[in-house]
Chain A
Amino acid sequence: MMSSIVFIVLCLVGFGFATWNFLKIRQNVLLGQEIDRKGDAAARWKNMLLVAFGQKKMFSRPIPALLHFALYAAFVITQIELIEIIVDGVTGSHRFFQNALGSFYTFLISFIEFLSVAALIGTIAFLARRNLLKLPRLTMKELAGWPKQDANLILIMEIVLVTFIFMMNGADEASLNLTANASNGFLISQFVGPLFFGGISSTETLHILEQIGWWGHIIMVFAFLNYLPYSKHLHIILAFPNTFYANLNPKGQFTNLESVTNEVKLMLDPNADPYAAAPEGAVPQRFGAKDVNDLTWKNLLDAYSCTECGRCTSSCPANMTGKLLSPRKIMMATRDRLEEYGAGVRKNGKDFQDGKSLLGDYISEEEIWACTSCNACVQECPINIDPLSIIVDLRRYLVMEESKMPVELTGMLTNIENNGAPWQFSPNDRLNWKDE
């Protein structure tokens, strides 16, 4: 009875606090500008199924893809067991579904145990890649400090979680061996149980060990859930909406700035009144993005979805030739600034300003001018994040609002405006090649 109450309180606090944090994230994402990502539901579902659920893009690098898939499958399938844990926790029963499901139950738990071992192998391999093999993309300077700790912490939490599962099932197995000379018959714990707990002759001790495993497991689950909003690991949830709302247009197509179109139409219209007052209630719109609230909500969802794997950066031509730009850092900076800006807005209201901005304080001009707009980062991202559209919007702000750009580009733009070509050639010479 007592344990049931403790369990229910744990569930309420665990789910409640997580929900509160997830709602804050939703609020932050919605600080972004509107962008239409509705329509073509079939293509969107297909993207989500293939890219997020099926992890299609992960498999361009098969070894990490397999290890990652083990973790992913274990994570998804283990949630089935969570149903039983909740039922047992609330009612005080022990393996509630075991009798009802019979041999299917044995299969299910065995399958979970198999996946847990696969996940354990994956986790250890991932820790080794980060800390022993020191893969370049996983040890870059932008990961120094918290991002590195975050990554390791998640992996260690995984190991602890799996350990608790085997402690629970193993002690249960040993206890069954001892008292009834029987076995649960689960794939791994029927061996692991006797191996680790076979020497214990007290059923009381075994029961306590099993309880530690059980409570440890569920506490870890809630710890994990509540850790997500603070972690790069949020991708396990956001990968799904992020791929669903991903851009469906050709990657080369940059967005059209409607606000500019209206101005240009006025400029080209011989009947337009140059002295006309702005329409009533018109809010002057910023061209491009200076801060996170100028970006679209999809850019902001991208930032929260990024798990900092660095495939974008490792494929970025600017980064691999020593330039300052790292698409991953663009996403990390956007999220960091959004967290700060979002907290400020919640505290001080919509017009909150702290004198800081994404461009300048988090991302430098040098970084955004290093981009070749080659779309390699967009192509590589396993969950269809688009760092390029953020870079372009920051450029737009710099060029159109502040007229700040590398001096050669000023010349190029002047040439286009004056003579219709990025170089200084006369438009009248355009067809000279035909007779040369």
Chain B
Amino acid sequence: MSLHVPTMAEKLAQGENPDLLFWVGCSGSFDDRAKKITKALVKILNHCQVNFAVLGTEESCSGDPAKRAGNEFTFQMQAMMNIQVLNGYEVKKIVTACPHCFNTLKNEYPELGGNYEVIHHTQLIQDLINTGKLALEGGATFKGKKITFHDPCYLGRANDVYEAPRELIEKLDAELVEMKRCKTTGLCCGAGGAQMFKEAEKGNKEINIERTEDAIETHAEIIATGCPFCNTMMTDGVKNFNKEAEIQVLDVAELIANAADL
């Protein structure tokens, strides 16, 4: 199935203003693993005939890692350039599969003149299922499979979104098993706060190893995430324990796309 990914520029040329902008993010655009998540979400959007578009080459880093690293200049430069583009296209609603972009666009752009309704992709998928636009049938079955959900900090604690991804996992008929630290007490994967882009400070353990241990303890076959950075960290953690054969790390969008045979 070929993907239908119109850009905002193409839509504008056709005199259209799509209902939804899919903010792909840097990971989703460039990271090989995260690109698969991007495609899974596009398959869902295409299947449900959502009238969306992407910015394509007009998209630029949201500025999140710059802001977390303390460089407010770089952040605001990025934010203001992005806001010019977004406002130019009169964007109203944005979906993104990256909780860092989600948090930044939703919470930190308004003060700089960017006011949009921003949702995380798990919230969008939840809505598509609840309104009957997406049915989970014909695809891979997850019935009875043990799946644990790793809360991304910037989705959970930062923005209090805990239920949307969990509801989706339950829709798979899977057995949702919680780690000992979950939801408000969920443990970070170690990538946030610009740590993704630097070596960890001196310590006696990597954070993603500590977190992977939590996941292994649940005997889950799948670690579900909703963040490309968490995905990387958890995948590395699973590799560290040589458990790639037993435990998969998948984004919730991938689970849903699989179950719906997309």
Interface on A for B, CB 8 Å cutoff?
A: 60, 249-254, 256-257, 260-261, 263-265, 267-268, 287-288, 315, 317-318, 320-325, 366, 369-376, 378-380, 392, 394-400, 405-406, 408-409, 411-413, 416-417, 420-423, 425, 427-434, 436
Q: Once the chains are docked, how many angstroms separate the CA of A141 from the CA of B69?
A: 28
By the criterion CB–CB under 8 Å, are B61 and A372 in contact? Answer: no
Contact B198 A396 (CB under 8 A): no
Is A430 touching B188 in the complex (CB atoms < 8 A)? no
Residues of B194-212 whose CB lies within 8 A of A: 194-207, 209-211
In angstroms, Cα B61 to Cα A423, docked, is: 10
- Check if A256 sits within 8 Å of B112, measured CB to CB: yes
Q: Which residues of A contact B195 (CB under 8 A)?
A: 372
Among B76-84, B218-226, B235-243, the stretch in contact with A: B76-84
Tell me, rounded to whole Å, the shortest Cβ–Cβ distance linking B2 to chain A. 9
Instruction: Say if the beta carbon of B3 comes within 8 Å of chain A.
Output: yes
Residues of A within 8 A of B65 (CB): 412, 416, 422
Residue ID in chain A nearest B211 by CB atoms: A317
Report how far A145 CA is from B60 CA in the complex, Å. 51
Question: Do A322 and B193 contact each other (CB < 8 Å), given the known contacts A409-B69, A422-B65, A431-B57?
Answer: no
Q: Which of B26, B38, B153 is within 8 Å of A422, CB to CB?
A: B26
Interchain CB contact under 8 A, B5 and A434: yes
B92 at the interface (CB under 8 A from A): no
Contacts of A396 in B (CB 8 A): 70-72
Q: Mark B48-83, 1 if CB is under 8 A from A, else 0.
A: 000000101101110101111111111011101100
User: Is B160 interfacial (CB-CB < 8 Å)?
Assistant: yes
Chain A CB within 8 A of B7 CB? yes
Shortest distance between the CB of A394 and any CB in chain B (Å): 8
Chain A residues with Cβ below 8 Å from B193 are 371-374
Q: Is B246 part of the binding interface, using a Cβ–Cβ cutoff of 8 Å?
A: no
- Please, how many angstroms separate the alpha-carbon atoms of A193 and B207 in the complex? 57
Contact yes or no, B72 A412, CB < 8 A: no
Is the CB–CB distance between A374 and B194 below 8 Å? no
Question: Would you call B72 and A413 a contact (CB within 8 A)?
Answer: no
Which of chain B's residues have a CB closer than 8 A to the CB of A370? 200-201, 203
Q: Given A250-B103, A267-B77, are A321 and B207 also a contact pair (CB < 8 Å)?
A: yes
In addition to A250-B106, A323-B202, A431-B56, 17 A-B residue pairs with Cβ atoms within 8 Å of each other are: A60-B185, A250-B158, A254-B108, A256-B112, A260-B73, A268-B81, A317-B207, A318-B203, A321-B206, A322-B203, A369-B201, A370-B201, A399-B70, A400-B71, A400-B72, A416-B74, A429-B29
Return the 8 tightest CB-CB contacts between A and B, nearest first: A252-B158, A395-B70, A373-B193, A322-B204, A420-B60, A322-B203, A374-B188, A253-B107
Cβ of B191 within 8 Å of any chain A Cβ, yes or no, is yes
Q: Tell me the smallest distance from the CB of A329 to a CB of chain B, in Å.
A: 14
Closest to A405 in B: B69
Give the contacts of B159-190 with A (CB-CB under 8 A): 159-160, 184-185, 187-188, 190
Could you tell me the distance between the alpha carbons of A431 and B10 in the complex, rounded to whole angstroms?
13
| 26 sampled A-B residue pairs with Cβ under 8 A | A251-B157, A252-B158, A253-B108, A253-B158, A256-B111, A268-B77, A317-B188, A318-B207, A321-B200, A321-B204, A323-B203, A376-B187, A396-B70, A396-B71, A399-B70, A400-B73, A406-B198, A408-B197, A408-B198, A412-B194, A413-B71, A416-B63, A416-B74, A420-B59, A422-B61, A434-B5
Q: Which residues of B contact A432 (CB under 8 A)?
A: 29
Residues in A with CB closer than 8 Å to B234 are: none
CB within 8 Å for A428 and B57 given contacts A254-B108, A392-B70: yes
